[in-house]
Structure formats: C-alpha cells, structure tokens
Amino acid sequence: MKSVLSVFASLALLAVFSVSASAAEDVLKGEVKTLEGKKVDLSEYKGKVLLIVNVASKCGKTPQYEPLQALYEQYGEQGFAVLGFPCNQFGKQEPGTASEIREFCTEKYDVTFPMFEKIEVNGDGTSPLYTKLKSYDSDPGDVKWNFEKFLIGKDGEVVARFRTRVEPDDKKVIQAIETELKKEN
C-alpha cells in the first residue's frame, strides 16, 4: 500500500512540475505584430534573454526608453533583446498610431530594439503574451502602470518582474540580466 501511495505522490508531483514547465515555455509561443504590421513568432526569441516592457510615449517614465536602448546596445551581441509593447491603458498615454509611435521612439530616443503593435496588458482584451507574463509565480497580477519590465531567461521562463519605478539601469536589473546571460541554454 505504501508503494502505491508513493507512486501516486510521485505522479502528482511530476504533474505539477510538468504544468509549470509547459506554462514557462508558453511565454514564447504565439505571434505578435511589429509596429509595421509584420508578424513575428515569439519562438524566434527562444534562447535569448529578454526584457519585455509595456511602453508609452506620453508618460512621466517615457525617458526609460533611453536606458532600455542602452541595455539593448550593451548586451545585444550577447543574446539579449528588449521588446517594447506600446499600451494606451494607463492615463491614455500612448494615443498615437503605429507610425507616430515609431517616429517618436526613433527621433526622440533613437530606439532600435524591436517594437510591436499597441496591445492591452490588463482586462478582457489582454494580449495572450501578457496573460502569461502576469502569471509569474513570484509576482503575479495585473500590470500597474507603463514601463513594467519582465525578464525572460534563455529557457523562456519569467525570472524577474520589475515595476515601473525600477529604472532599466538599476543595479538589480543589470545583475539579473547578466546572471541570465551567463546561463547555458
């Protein structure tokens, strides 16, 4: 009887770990569109370290574009990317069209990291990507404001979440990025 219970306990534990692993891998499943409307399969980013950020052009935190771009330039050749997702859900601070957003980011901040179409990060229209990101075990829940940052490891798992007030060049963010970059695929 003990061995039967032991087998059931082991199977239950295995099922829990399998669900967790599947959920993590799902972060990089699905398609998104660039600001120019080109479809991108998120699986193209598998094996990279990513900082996924909901951005806005008319926010008090908009100057975070500058350190985000600096991180992209500093670590890009090491397998790191910043992915920007404009969102108009917080104070209507991203009202522009895709071309207006591109023009603003390029002219004001020389943004060269990938930028995607405007999305919703909360509510009924939440993008599938953000539904997955917000289920991060250590810090689940809705996005509170613009420029929240999710760090994704090479294995496709969310490894950290940094709220709006944490600047992209904060020591905690840089240390987390460098730690993930050192890990094997």
Rounded to the nearest 10°, the torsion over CA 45, 31, 68, 23 is: -70
Choosing from 59, 111, 115, 159, the catalytic residue is: 59
Q: Is 105 tagged catalytic?
A: no
7-23: per-residue pLDDT in tens? Answer: 444 444 333 333 344 44
Verdict on whether the full-model pTM lies above 0.95: no
Structural domain span for residue 129? 2-182
87-141: per-residue pLDDT in tens? Answer: 999 999 999 999 999 999 999 999 999 999 999 999 999 999 999 999 988 888 9
How far is 51 from 46, CA to CA, in rounded Å? 13
CATH code for position 90? 3.40.30.10
CA dihedral sign, ordered 14, 137, 128, 53: negative
Total domains in the chain come to 1
Q: What is the mean pLDDT of the chain?
A: 89
Angle value at C-alpha 33, between 41 and 35, nearest 5 degrees = 140
